[in-house]
Amino acid sequence: MSFEDIKNLLIKKFGDGVVVGEETNGLQPALLINPDDIAAVCLELRNNPKTYFDFLSSLTGVHYNDEANRYSVVYHLASMPYKTQLTLKISKPHDKESNTLPEFLSINEVYRTADWHERETYDLLGIYFVGHPDLRRILLPDDWEGFPLRKDYQNAEYYKGIKID
């Protein structure tokens, strides 16, 4: 299926609000998906015999630190039998003054490989994945303060008395 066919399949299945945009000017075209629909979209793309995106090859987060303080999650899906790839992106603003973490739905129930990818994204960017069964730090110590891949992260000078900066 072509990129346009996949987009039309999703719109037919979920309605006009599921695809909120598209990026077709780069090397990897991407569908911009409504964040509330990401798990259902991934499940459909995995189970539909026309697409069969059976492998989540990558999931990562982005902190834009723009005026809206947007956070985004990027999903790279692959279909082994059809030898095709698809990029999905979800994004939403987050209040800079809030003490809560930005939240997106987990797709761990759809792709088991999302377990580690979501934990890494949580650890380094502080994106909380609702419904993840074991969301905790994976690379940094449990008592680490902050999220190092955020654009507004301030490096600590010391960790447990050891100079790190």
The number of residues in the chain equals 165
CA distance linking residue 44 with residue 90, whole number of Å: 16
pLDDT classification of 125: cutoffs 50, 70, 90: very high
Q: Are strands 19-23 and 55-63 parallel, antiparallel or unpaired?
A: unpaired
User: In this predicted structure, what is the pLDDT of residue 56?
Assistant: 98
The percent of residues above 90 in pLDDT, for the chain, comes to 84
Q: Helix or strand or coil: residue 8?
A: helix
Instruction: Mention every residue, 6+ apart, whose C-beta is less than 8 A from residue 63.
Output: 70, 71, 125, 149, 150, 151, 152
Taking only the tens place, the pLDDT of each residue in 83-122 is 999 999 999 999 999 999 999 999 999 999 999 999 999 9
* DSSP tag of 150: S
pTM: 0.93
**In Å, how far are 36, 39, 73 from 3, measured between CA atoms?**
21, 19, 19
Work out the burial of residue 113: count CB atoms within 10 Å of its CB; fewer than 13 is exposed, 13-18 middle, 19 or more buried: middle
User: In this predicted structure, what is the pLDDT of residue 26?
Assistant: 82
Fold of 3-163: Beta Polymerase; domain 2 (3.30.460)
Indicate the domain borders of the chain: 3-163
Mean residue pLDDT of the chain comes to 95
CA distance linking residue 7 with residue 3, whole number of Å: 6
Taking only the tens place, the pLDDT of each residue in 36-63 is 999 999 999 999 999 999 999 999 999 9
